[in-house]
Structure 1
Amino acid sequence: MTTAGASETFDYVIVGSGAAGAIVAARLSEDSGVSVCVLEAGGADWHPYLKLPAGFIKVIFNPERAWQFSSEPSARTAGRRIPLPQGKTLGGSTSINGLVYNRGQREDFDGWAARGNPGWSYDEVLPYFKRSETFVDGGDPALRGHSGRLKVTLPHWPHPVCEAFLQGAQEMGMPLNPDYNGPSQQGVGYFQRTIDQGWRVSTSAAFLRPAQRRSNLRVVTGAQVQRIQIANAMATGVEYVQAGVLRTIHARREVIVCAGAINTPKLLMLSGIGDGHRLRELGIETHAHLPGVGQHLKDHFSIRLVARVRNAVTINELARAPRLWGQAANWLRGKPNILALSPSVVHWFWQSQPGLPRPDLQGVFSPASYREGYVGMLDRFPGMTCGVWQHRPKSMGSVSLACANPWADPIVQPNYLDDEEDRQTLLRGVRIARALLQTQALAPFRESETMPGAQVQSDEEILDFIYRYGVSSYHVNGTARMGPRSDAGAVVDAQLRVHGVRNLRVVDASVMPEIPSANTCAATMMIGEKGAEMIRSAR
């Protein structure tokens, strides 16, 4: 590795261009009087698989497009490592994810504020959700945005099996809910997605690319940041490697870390911010003793049930030639097609047991199935899938350094289902998902259950099925969580400033004080919007 000569200086240096980073860059660069530089470890998002919604299968496990992290084995995953891919391209995970737009519940954000984070209640974060989006399919204007750059749409893809599932869910008492991001999340309906006219809408496409026309914004790809430079308890810049050359870039005002819930704590620890005892063991000079860095990791652990379908053509068949050619033709003509779908088509939000005040389960349904229930390879037979995960798990884990080598992957241990209540909640969720596949409305299309199969009935058998086939929902968060300085586990304050280090902020899913009752992408974009405004108002 060689070292570059003279370094550059910008007002703001942003590490990462994902769900939050792209938005922060776009908003800060609106001020022509400041200079902004974004450093992205991955490459440009030019590839068609990053643009076409169905292309997620081709990129999510591609090391050129996604960090191929995985969890440590555990008893509750039957000794398996669970893949935890994270976006490694412009747009970050918004360029490779399942495209679902789901904010969460009012109580989630009110809970954030109640933990000592003023300004983060639902009413206070709602304007930032609205600022980003244009919900093409209507919604209450008091709750939904209609002038933002992020297009959010419903699928408008009629399928008889989906309609039968909706009818069956209503038979079980679930109300039809046309807008789960509106007044109430509870119920069943079609997922809202970040798809517009057949194309994926990443934060790169919606925010970063238009902003790149400004002369005060520079975006550097292939730039892996190794360390934040800190002097006298103040962040002054970063060191990064590009094409084998070690480079330095200085920040006049702030370094803003938006690298995601795995890479952000890794970078902080490599820079001397974390548990001082552990850092000393690794030979890393401690600049801020913050034991909470890398702790409080949470994720949604999901399980999918599969049934064989009759009397209908499912995505499994539509995705194979010659039917696939017809789907491609429909995509070109702007007609309904599978290439412009998110992996999950229908949602259901429900309580795992009577008496709960709000949903503690999220379910997904699609007239498609993957081999052994794992996203990647479609089954050869007609299939449908009903999946479920627990909204607010108590189990939590950590991200830690294996060594001081910046090129080494960190150790990720989510401790899935470590808490007994989590196991029981997900167990009840599986029974509800199974009942949804057994409704009278679905009877004309249901042939037989293939996963886990009719032979699996007892609690012990279902839990064993969950342990052997459960997977991450790719919603990792909380590893640099927000909280007051008096909270020993907090890493950033309510302004997202790192405790004990001036001119350094974290703006991504790492700062979430608690996991939201939703896919985490929408809330991360909201954090980007709110974080950018905080930074601008601090000048």
Structure 2
Amino acid sequence: MPLVTGNLSSDTYDNIVVGGGSAGCLIAARLSEDRSRKVLLIEAGGADVDRPAMVEPALWSTNFGSDVDWRYRTVPQRHANGRVFDWNRGKVLGGCSSINATVWVWGHPSDFDRWAADGNTGWDFASLQPLFRQLETTLRSEDNDRRGTNGPMRLASTSCGVPLAEAFFEACGSAGHPRLSDVNGPVQEGSGTYDLTVAAGRRFSVVHAFLHPAIDRPNLTVLSRAEVDRLIFAGNDCVGVRCRHEGKLREFRASGEIILSAGALATPYLLMRSGIGNAADLGQVGIKVIHDLPGVGENLHDHCFINAFSAETAEPVHREGRLGAHLYTRSHEALSTPDIEVVISGGAIGLTDAPMEKCFSLQTALLRPLSRGRLTLAHRDGDIDIDPNYLAEKADIDALCTAVEKCSELAASAPISRHCTGKVRKPPHGKAQILEFIRNNMGTYWHPVGTCAMGAGKQAVVDASLRVHGLTNLRVADSSVMPSITTGNTLAPTLVIAEHAARRISLDTRA
């Protein structure tokens, strides 16, 4: 795709969408369905989504650290022995949907019901379920009564029949976890296979689902390699954006709304750079305050992830390293919904001199963290300080300790242990030792959310229609608006947020 598509001769559009990632591509495509509406989509990254690493699903991790990665890093995490974490985010059209692991998970119904219970009318699961279905095309014939079969996002189910995957299901069954045909749409407790945003063996990103079909519309302009510098305000009205393109600053104006869809890190960054945020924090770095909105950058959280067990096997594990099996379960019986996930996959961490094609791992994630951090400007024109504040809450530590113990129990079961024919890396015994193991080995699932949370409270940034509190003509629609993270990978919920926003904007424009 060329770096500029459509008509860039105009400086005024009806709508400007900032960020051509997962949410932004969808919103721009949806808004441009109205041929009377001129839409500009601005993306800081490039437009080449046809590189092998972004086409071949198994190569997803090779995108990290490349020129299509923003390569963010956290500040040292005081509850994780001062370690710094790489936060890889897509710097290309399609955003993370162009570089990530392609996993498609709805989330648990209670995730969305909790949003609604906090005052966000219309965000309960019953209201959102039709959107999930309308977004997807699944090949799961046994679940057609509740899954989508005619949506733009094409999905492939991971295959069963891989010996280690079947061993994992058998081990889960022996531990009392039911095997389900589909544990993802929506999330259910038990073991099963997951869906991937893959079609005909190739990545099928939001670019393929939404932007490519819309790209020839004369009312849609896509400008890539253009980094928005700040939003332009007239009083409390957001009237345009300033961006740097081909070494020059350029301004674009909007007669209608501007939609921020730059993601959980860049969206609050742009708001703060533009004078929207905590007045005291902005004053410290010399930014003129346009609107005091204390919640901008707060409520930052993410899914913790840890490789808990690795082993060498006698035979190659799987051609792509994907075994397609995982488990949703609870860290303790008092919970009513799953809060941890266990995944079995090919490859391993920490096994030296063992061929990766003959290794497998049990990995686990904390899906409902309570710890909250924040994102702040380091100085007026520079970097951001990213502090997820991992493991600040004791409940998160306890849940991860239990999750690691569950991995150990599954690994020790007969169905899985019989595949362990060589070197083994396993966690230590004892609560104190496991805790130290977690602090030294925990990583990220790359799911940051929450920094422009939706709600009505003091820390809320947007309302239930995703309008920024106290401002006009400005909405936020990406993972930053999640008041609390969803159970599982966040791509599908982010697209539901984008779809909800596009419909709301269209309705409000007609009104």
Give the TM-score normalised by structure 2.
Answer: 0.94
Residues 7 and 399 of structure 1: is their aligned pair in 2 closer, same or farther, counting only changes over 3 Å?
farther
Deviations along 1:266-309, one digit per CA (max 9) or x if unpaired, are: 00000111001211222212111110000000101111123323
Is residue 366 of structure 2 the alignment partner of residue 390 of structure 1?
yes
Q: Of the candidates 418, 421, 426, which is equivalent to residue 400 of structure 2?
A: 426
Match of 2:4 in 1: none
Match of 1:508 in 2: 478
Match of 2:54 in 1: 50
Q: Of the candidates 415, 431, 453, which is equivalent to residue 389 of structure 2?
A: 415
Match of 1:468 in 2: 440
Q: Say if 1:305 and 1:385, in contact at 8 Å, map to a contact too.
A: yes
Cα displacement (A) at 1:204: 0.8
Match of 1:365 in 2: 344
Distance 1:20 1:300 in 2: 20
Q: Which amino acid aligns with 1:234?
A: D
Cα displacement (A) at 1:361: 0.8
Match of 1:273 in 2: 276
Match of 2:330 in 1: 351
Q: Say if 1:99 and 1:200, in contact at 8 Å, map to a contact too.
A: yes
**Residues 16-31 of structure 1 mapped to structure 2, 5 A cutoff:** 16-31=19-34
Match of 2:138 in 1: 135
Q: Which amino acid aligns with 1:421?
A: A
Counterpart of 1:41 in 2: which secondary structure?
coil
Match of 1:331 in 2: none
Cα displacement (A) at 1:409: 2.6
Distance 2:173 2:82 in 1: 38
Residues 344 and 73 of structure 1: is their aligned pair in 2 closer, same or farther, counting only changes over 3 Å?
farther
Cα displacement (A) at 1:247: 0.7
Q: Which amino acid aligns with 2:467?
A: R
Cα displacement (A) at 1:381: 6.9
Q: Of the candidates 78, 96, 100, which is equivalent to residue 97 of structure 1?
A: 100
Match of 1:400 in 2: 376
Residues 477 and 216 of structure 1: is their aligned pair in 2 closer, same or farther, counting only changes over 3 Å?
same
Q: Which amino acid aligns with 2:437?
A: F
Match of 1:442 in 2: 416
Q: Does 362-371 or 199-208 show the bigger shift?
A: 362-371
Distance 2:483 2:355 in 1: 39
**Residues 220-299 of structure 1 mapped to structure 2, 5 A cutoff:** 220-299=223-302
Residues 241 and 378 of structure 1: is their aligned pair in 2 closer, same or farther, counting only changes over 3 Å?
farther
Q: Which runs of 4+ in 1 moved over 6 A?
A: none
Cα displacement (A) at 1:156: 2.5
Distance 1:445 1:123 in 2: 43
Match of 2:125 in 1: 122
Cα displacement (A) at 1:380: 4.3
Cα displacement (A) at 1:11: 0.6
Q: Say if 1:351 and 1:361, in contact at 8 Å, map to a contact too.
A: yes
Distance 2:35 2:286 in 1: 42
Residues 391 and 228 of structure 1: is their aligned pair in 2 closer, same or farther, counting only changes over 3 Å?
same
**Residues 330-345 of structure 1 mapped to structure 2, 5 A cutoff:** 337-338=319-320, 345=324
Cα displacement (A) at 1:448: 5.9
Distance 2:238 2:73 in 1: 30
Residues 66 and 172 of structure 1: is their aligned pair in 2 closer, same or farther, counting only changes over 3 Å?
same
Cα displacement (A) at 1:48: 2.0
Deviations along 1:425-461, one digit per CA (max 9) or x if unpaired, are: 10001000111111111232123673345xx111111
Q: Say if 1:370 and 1:379, in contact at 8 Å, map to a contact too.
A: no
Is residue 496 of structure 2 the alignment partner of residue 526 of structure 1?
yes
Residues 275 and 449 of structure 1: is their aligned pair in 2 closer, same or farther, counting only changes over 3 Å?
farther
Q: Which amino acid aligns with 2:286?
A: G
Residues 183 and 79 of structure 1: is their aligned pair in 2 closer, same or farther, counting only changes over 3 Å?
closer
Is residue 303 of structure 2 the alignment partner of residue 300 of structure 1?
yes
Distance 1:54 1:183 in 2: 25
Match of 2:430 in 1: 458
Match of 1:144 in 2: 147
Q: Say if 2:183 and 2:193, in contact at 8 Å, map to a contact too.
A: no
Q: Which amino acid aligns with 1:508?
A: D
Cα displacement (A) at 1:509: 0.2
Counterpart of 1:253 in 2: which secondary structure?
coil
Residues 294 and 378 of structure 1: is their aligned pair in 2 closer, same or farther, counting only changes over 3 Å?
farther
Residues 277 and 132 of structure 1: is their aligned pair in 2 closer, same or farther, counting only changes over 3 Å?
same
Deviations along 1:215-239, one digit per CA (max 9) or x if unpaired, are: 1111111010010001120100100
Q: Say if 1:370 and 1:378, in contact at 8 Å, map to a contact too.
A: no
Residues 381 and 212 of structure 1: is their aligned pair in 2 closer, same or farther, counting only changes over 3 Å?
closer
Residues 378 and 85 of structure 1: is their aligned pair in 2 closer, same or farther, counting only changes over 3 Å?
farther
Cα displacement (A) at 1:189: 1.3
Distance 1:367 1:508 in 2: 31
Residues 228 and 344 of structure 1: is their aligned pair in 2 closer, same or farther, counting only changes over 3 Å?
farther
Residues 47 and 445 of structure 1: is their aligned pair in 2 closer, same or farther, counting only changes over 3 Å?
same
Deviations along 1:189-227, one digit per CA (max 9) or x if unpaired, are: 112111111011110111111111211111111010010
Match of 1:321 in 2: none
Cα displacement (A) at 1:107: 0.6
Report % sequence identity: 35
Is residue 199 of structure 2 the alignment partner of residue 196 of structure 1?
yes
Distance 2:359 2:365 in 1: 20
Aligned-residue RMSD, C-alpha: 1.9
Structure 2 unaligned spans of 5+ = 1-7
Cα displacement (A) at 1:76: 2.2
Deviations along 1:449-502, one digit per CA (max 9) or x if unpaired, are: 73345xx11111111111111101001000000002xx1100000000001110
Q: Say if 2:408 and 2:426, in contact at 8 Å, map to a contact too.
A: no
Cα displacement (A) at 1:356: 2.5
Q: Say if 1:38 and 1:220, in contact at 8 Å, map to a contact too.
A: yes
Q: Say if 1:117 and 1:494, in contact at 8 Å, map to a contact too.
A: yes
Q: Which amino acid aligns with 2:68?
A: R
Is residue 185 of structure 2 the alignment partner of residue 215 of structure 1?
no
Counterpart of 1:347 in 2: which secondary structure?
strand
Distance 2:79 2:358 in 1: 31
